[in-house]
Amino acid sequence: MKRFLSGDEAFAEGIRLACPDVISAYPITPQTVVVERLSEMVEDGSLDSEFIHVESEHSALSCAIGASAAGVRTFTATSSQGLLYMAEGLPYAAGGRFPVVMMNANRATALPWNIYGDQRDSLALLDTGWIQEYAADAQEALDMAVMSYYIAEHRDVSTPFMVNLDGFVLTHTYENVDIPDRERVREFLPPYETENCFDFEHPKNIGFSAGPETNFIFKYKEHRAFERAIHVIKEAERRFGELFGRKYTGLAEEYLTEDADYVIITLGTAAGLCRTIADELRREGVKAGVLRIRYMRPFPNEEIARALKNAKAAAVLEKDISFGNAGTVYVNVAAALQWAGVSTPLYDFVGGLGGKDITHADIRNIYESMGKGAPRVTFMGIGVE
């Protein structure tokens, strides 16, 4: 069924199809629409779920962790300061191997106070043990709401999953979206089953302490789960494509990179504009390409090295800065090239902070700057250092 939906509404439809048993909800712009729509679905009976309106974002994640520990499928959502308020609970969910699914509406962090979209909130929390995917449009948002459960709950993974949507640019922009049939979604996504839960018949210890002699083993197992997740992501996408006809490209998505001299690497919705400019430049005789990183964790090291190995130069366009260094995405991409022995010059362009528009001219300037040699880190829109 086709419907005209915002990114938030599309994600809520995907969660409805995934049928979580418990939804822990707390509003924060620009995520609020997701939990509002889910509350309406619970009220009208189209979603059979326990909807719990908690008193804070910290409580929202704590509730989801508790419900997952009780053995049921869970969902929560947040944004910006709300995600940071949850920060204490993120490694609890990951270390406990509770496959909570959370939608994060990417939004700038304070201070200064700002409700518009950049990606500093989620990128600041890459090391908390959550899978992180960045959707490019409303259709991908809906599809990832479904696929995230398949991946997170897989026995080889058992890891919480954060799906990120660019604030306002995606969360509040309307597009035509195909909503799958619920019965076919049930064919794709089986009912939730886990042994990692409280069980009075078979008691076990959950949330225990581990000293120096064993703690590192648990951390190693978390890391290995991310390595296995790469294969599970491919499996999920293959099955999803067979059932619904929409194909996804794993950890990264390449566009015209095979023979590209200049490649922009980016996350989320910015990739659409980059592809448009790449097409224009191709018509002008410039071999431009685009690499969209879909997953920041697990990270597409091999895909990045392969896509950039023959380029004359590459640039990361990111809505993030790690103060005192470069952007977080740049540092990860640079490491991927270093490990693979790829010497392609790499530049970092920081744009879109606090929701500032990234324009047609900005993207053309990135491609042109790569050809001339750019500063290692460039803040877009600032003419004077």
CATH number at residue 160: 3.40.50.970
Peptide bond just before 375 cis, omega within 30 deg: no
Element containing residue 216 per DSSP (H, E):
helix 215-244
| Domain termination site, one of 225, 244, 263 | 244
CB 49 within 8 A of CB 17: no
Q: What is the pLDDT of residue 209?
A: 95
**Quick one: pLDDT at residue 104?**
98
- Please identify, among 193, 228, 244, the residue that sits at the C-terminal boundary of a domain: 244
Indicate whether 68 and 114 sit together in one domain: yes
Q: Is 308 exposed, middle or buried (0-12, 13-18, 19+ CB in 10 A)?
A: buried
Tokens of 68: 């997952």
Pairing verdict, β 288-293 and 252-255: antiparallel
pLDDT at 325: 95
pLDDT of residue 237: 98
Q: What does the pLDDT read at residue 176?
A: 98
Residues 239 and 257 grouped into a single domain: no
Are 226 and 276 part of one and the same domain? no
What does the alpha-carbon distance between residue 73 and residue 329 come to, in Å, rounded to a whole number?
Answer: 31
pLDDT at 196: 95
* Pairing verdict, β 131-134 and 161-166: parallel
Number of domains into which the chain is organized? 2
Q: What would the DSSP string read from start to end of 313-350?
A: EEEEEES---TTS--HHHHHHHHHHHHHT----EEEEE
Domain-located, residue 385: no
Q: Positive or negative CA dihedral for 23, 89, 297, 222?
A: negative
Is 206 in the same domain as 280? no
Q: Which residues of the chain register pLDDT less than 70? A: 383-385
Closest by CA to 260, choosing from 337, 315, 341, 328, is: 315
- Opening angle at CA 348, ends 261 and 111, nearest 5: 150
Structure-token pair, residue 312 = 């004359």
On whether both 33 and 174 belong to a single domain, the answer is: yes
> Does 194 lie in the same domain as 91?
yes
Residue where one domain finishes, among candidates 244, 262, 279: 244
In a domain, 145, yes or no: yes
CA gap 109, 120 in Å, rounded: 7
Q: Is 238 among the domain residues?
A: yes
304 and 192 together in one domain: no
Q: Looking at residue 334, which CATH number applies to its domain?
A: 3.40.50.920
d(CA 213, CA 159): 23
Do 95 and 187 reside in the same domain of the chain?
yes
Give the max Cα distance, the chain.
Answer: 70
Q: Both 181 and 268 in a single domain? A: no
List pLDDT tens digits, range 3-26: 999 999 999 999 999 999 999 999
- pTM summary value: 0.97
Which domain range does residue 333 map to? Answer: 252-379
Answer yes or no: is 114 within a domain.
Answer: yes
Q: Are 234 and 250 in contact (CB under 8 A)?
A: yes
State whether 85 and 196 are in the same domain: yes
| Claim to verify: residue 191 and residue 274 sit in the same structural domain | no
Does residue 384 lie within any of the structural domains?
A: no
Same domain, yes or no, for 239 and 180?
yes
Query: Does a structural domain hold residue 182?
Result: yes
